[in-house]
Amino acid sequence: MTTNLLDFDLEGLAAFCEQLGQKRFRATQLFRWIHQKGAADFEQMTDLAKALREKLSLFAHVQGLRVISRHDSSDGTIKWLFDVGAGDVIETVFIPEADRGTLCISSQAGCAVGCRFCSTGHQGFSRNLTTGEIISQLWFAEHFLRKHLGRDERIISNIVMMGMGEPLQNYAQLLPALKVMLDDHGYGLSRRRVTVSTSGVVPMMDRLARDCPVALAVSLHAPHDALRDNLVPLNKKYPIAELLDACIRYQSAAPRDFITFEYCMLHGVNDQPEHARQLVALMKAHAAAGLSCKFNLIPFNPFPASGLICSEMPQVMAFARVLIEAGIVTTVRKTRGDDIDAACGQLAGDVQDRTGVGQRMAAQRQGMLGGIKVVVVKGTTV
């Protein structure tokens, strides 16, 4: 078995080239061919010496993931299912907007955290993705989209690690993948355009702050430990006070940045005005210590096994208003790709809903959200 060069960041590729008796700068050329031009065939890489190309074809390859299917939403969102072997399927979603193209990437097959409102969590954990499997999602999508849209320039401007899995429980494989995203010889994305979303793996938040302080989103979902313990089981290990302290430390490594708190709106569970007021108190208590935050309220995407339902839109807006009136920047996430099940928490791969209940609930929610135009509501920072 030869080495898959998608598994390396530029440092790793340079070390590999040195093992082949090559100067390190050859790695830069090779890296640019792979990531900037989407090349997988060494013969194409005409500015590399023929002897090197021959050597590479003996010891290395560039192999992306096998695409199982592609689903195109009427709103332009595209979802791919990729086969990662042994029956595991992961998903990647491209979300085009007027001023950006965002790719939502998976970091694990399944997830061990087991949040109650997440269908990936309900699937359980299968395995960590390799660096190559993480970066292949970007490599494939970027070069596919360029061909598909007939454009020569960069299409994907933002990355969110919000697909399947808990990225900070796969840190060793995640870090080189982030480096490829940021590398000027790779995708050249600024660290503010790459977001790692976490359910709160505190020690790894500290490591990320040191190694690669990209934008951070923290899935909070509750204003106090009793409720968060129930929704996000990892809270029992890293309770809210520890989590928020880690956020403050993170911000000292990434000054001038916000932490985005994600909050999935669950009818009758965490969506009451008193929950909003408790959140305000929590944030104010930490603002003095340097926490600056914004909130992203996510309408829950229902799936039958959860036994949960989405908050009604007036409830979501009332909740947002409490935060905004307290001076917290708050947005309500627009759901995209609803017709292809590409929304958060629906990235379930092999979890099948044969009952039709899921579709009915989605349709009901669609109707509920239909016509509501106010999506982004702004206040100022705490």
Binding residues vs ligand SAH (CB under 6 A): 117-118, 162, 166, 197-199, 219, 262, 264, 298, 300-301, 344-345
* Residue nearest to ligand SAH according to CB distances in the complex: 345
Per annotation, catalytic residue among 17, 91, 133, 247: 91
Quote the CA–CA distance of 260 and 36 in Å, as a whole number: 30
Q: How far is the CB of 99 from ligand SF4 (least distance, A)?
A: 27
Which are the contacts of 280, defined by CB distance < 8 A and separation ≥ 6?
322, 323, 326, 328
d(CA 143, CA 39): 9
- Which listed option, ligand SF4, ligand SAH, none, makes contact with residue 114 (CB within 5 to 8 Å by class)? ligand SF4
If one asks whether residue 120 binds ligand SF4 (CB under 6 A), the answer comes out as yes
Residues 178-207 that bind ligand SF4 (CB under 6 A): 199
CB of 14 to ligand SAH, least distance (A): 31
Please state the three-class secondary structure of 203-243 as a single string.
HHHHHHHHHCCCEEEEECCCCCHHHHHHHCHHHHCCCHHHH
Q: Is 11 tagged catalytic?
A: no
Q: Per-residue x/- marks for ligand SF4, 22-61, CB under 6 A?
A: ----------------------------------------
Residue listed under structure tokens 């790779």: 186
Please tell me whether residue 165 binds ligand SF4 under the rule CB under 6 A. Answer: yes
As a whole number of angstroms, the distance between CA 294 and CA 275 comes to 16
Residue 356 per-residue DSSP state: S
Cβ-based nearer residue to ligand SAH, 130 or 301: 301
| Token pair belonging to 325 | 């009136």
Shortest distance (Å) from residue 259 CB to ligand SAH = 12
State the nearest-atom distance from the C-beta of 153 to ligand SF4, in Å. Answer: 32
300 binds, among ligand SF4, ligand SAH, none (CB under 5 to 8 A by kind): ligand SAH
Report how far residue 296's alpha carbon sits from residue 310's, in angstroms, rounded to the nearest whole number. Answer: 15
**Residue 342 contacts ligand SF4 per CB under 6 A:** no
Task: Please identify which residue in the block is written with the tokens 């001076």.
Answer: 327
> How far is the C-alpha of 268 from the C-alpha of 291, rounded, in Å?
28
Q: Which is nearer to ligand SF4, 158 or 346 (CB)?
A: 346
By a kind-dependent CB cut-off of 5 to 8 A, residue 162 interacts, out of ligand SAH, ligand SF4, none, with ligand SAH
Has 91 been annotated as catalytic? Answer: yes
- Nearest by Cα to 103 from 131, 142, 64: 142
Q: Give the C-alpha distances (Å, rounded to integers) separating 80 from 89, 93, 326.
A: 10, 6, 40
**Which tokens is 263 given?**
């909050």
Adjacent-strand bridge partners of 82: 67, 90
In the chain, the amino acid numbered 331 is: T
* Binding at 361: pick from ligand SF4, ligand SAH, none (beta carbon under 5-8 Å per type): none
Pick the closer one to ligand SAH by CB: 262 or 271: 262
Least distance (Å) between residue 200 CB and ligand SAH: 8
- Measured from the CB atom, the residue of 85 and 124 that comes closer to ligand SF4 is 124
Q: Does 262 bind ligand SF4 (CB under 6 A)?
A: no
Give the shortest CB-305-to-ligand SAH separation in angstroms: 11
- From CA 93, how far away is CA 86, in angstroms rounded? 22
- In sign, the C-alpha dihedral spanning 30, 34, 37, 41 is positive
Q: How far is the CB of 94 from ligand SF4 (least distance, A)?
A: 19
Report the distance separating Cα 90 and Cα 160, nearest Å: 15
CB 328 within 8 A of CB 379: yes
Residues 298, 303: Cα–Cα separation, whole Å: 15
Stretch that binds ligand SF4, among 76-84, 117-125, 131-139, 174-182 (CB under 6 A): 117-125
Residue 262 contacts which entry, ligand SAH, ligand SF4, none (Cβ below 5-8 A, type-dependent)? ligand SAH
**Which residue is listed with tokens 């690690």?**
161
- Which 210-249 positions form the footprint of ligand SF4 (CB under 6 A)? 219
Q: Which residues bind ligand SF4 (CB under 6 A)?
A: 111, 113-115, 118, 120-121, 165-166, 199, 219
Q: Which residues are catalytic?
A: 91, 344
